[in-house]
Amino acid sequence: MVLSALDMVLIRAVIAVVVASLGGAVIFFVKDISHKHLCALISLAAGALLSVVVLDIIPETIDLIGLLETAGAVLLGYATFYLIGKYVYHICPACAATHKESMFRVTMLMVVAMSIHSFMDGIAIAVGHETGTSVGYIIFFVVAYHKFPEGLALASVAVSSGYSRAKAIGITVALEGATTLSGGIIGAVALAGSAPIWFGFVLGHVGGGFLYLVFHALLGEMVKHEKKSTVFYASLGFVSLAVIGFIVTAAIGT
C-alpha cells in the first residue's frame, strides 16, 4: 500500500504527539521534577534545534529561494515568535515551567502559547516532508526530540496548578494532539502541489521560530541558572543531531 503525503505527515505528527505524551507521563513516576533536570532536557532539545536550523534548514532554504529571501523568512519567523512571547506568553512552553508565578495563570497562558508552538511543529513536519529531501526526516526527528521536555513541562505545571496527574496527562495529550495534528494537516493540504519557492519561505519561517526557541531557552532562561550544564547538554544535543543528520543524509542520498 502506498501512503499519501498527508498520511506520512499524519504518521509523523502522531509520533511527535506520542513522544510529548510520554514526557507528560513522567509525572506518574517522578513526583518532583528538579529544576536542574528540566534545564538539562531543555538544553539538550535546544541544542538539537540549533543543529537542524544551522546545518539543514537554512542551507535547504537558501537552495530553494536564495540568500536574501532566506534571511527575510528567518527574520519573520523569529519576529513572529518574539512578538507572541512578548505580548502573549513564553512561546517556549518548557522554559515557562521555570518561571515562578501564579501556577494557574502559568497553565492558562501556556495553553495559548503551546497551541501556537505545537501548531507550528505540525507545519514544520509538513513542509519538511514536502521538500522531498533528508531535511524532512531530520526536522521530524528534532520536533519529536523536543516534544518530550515540552510534554513534561506542561504536565508538571498543570499538576502544580491543582490538576490531578490523570487530568494533567489528559490536558497534555489533548492539546498536543489537536494542535500538532491540525498544523500537520493544514500544512500538508496547503503546500500540496505548491511551487518550491513556497516551501522555502515556510521552511525559513519555521527555522526562524526554532532559532527564537533556542535563544530564549538557552540565553534567556537556562544560562543564568545552570550555565555549565546548559553548555554541556546543548552541545550534546547539537552534536547528536548533527551526527543523525549526517547518517540520514548518507542513507537517503539527498
In a domain, 127, yes or no: yes
State how far the Cα of 108 lies from the Cα of 70, in Å rounded to an integer: 34
Residue 2 lies in a domain: no
Residue 23 lies in a domain: no
Convert the pLDDT of each residue in 72-105 to its tens digit: 999 999 998 888 777 765 555 555 555 444 455 5
Q: pLDDT by residue (tens digit) across 163-204?
A: 888 998 998 899 999 999 999 999 889 888 777 788 889 899
Predicted confidence at residue 163, as pLDDT, reads 82
Query: In the structure grid, which three cell numbers stand for residue 161, read together?
Result: 496548578
Torsions phi, psi for 101 (to 5 deg): -135, -175
Q: In this structure, is residue 58 part of a structural domain?
A: yes
Domain total of the chain: 1
The reply to whether 16 falls in a domain is no
- Tell me which of 59-63, 154-158, 200-204, 243-247 is least confident: 154-158
| pLDDT category of residue 30 using cuts at 50, 70 and 90 | confident
What's the sign of the alpha-carbon dihedral 182, 188, 189, 190?
Answer: positive
C-alpha to C-alpha distance for 108 and 35, rounded to whole angstroms: 21
Q: Kindly state whether residue 20 falls inside one of the protein's structural domains.
A: no
Parent domain of 81: 34-252
Does the pLDDT value for residue 158 go beyond 90? no
Closest CA to 97 of 113, 86, 75: 113
Contact between 241 and 141 under an 8 Å Cβ cutoff? The reply is yes
Whether residue 85 lies inside any domain: the answer is yes
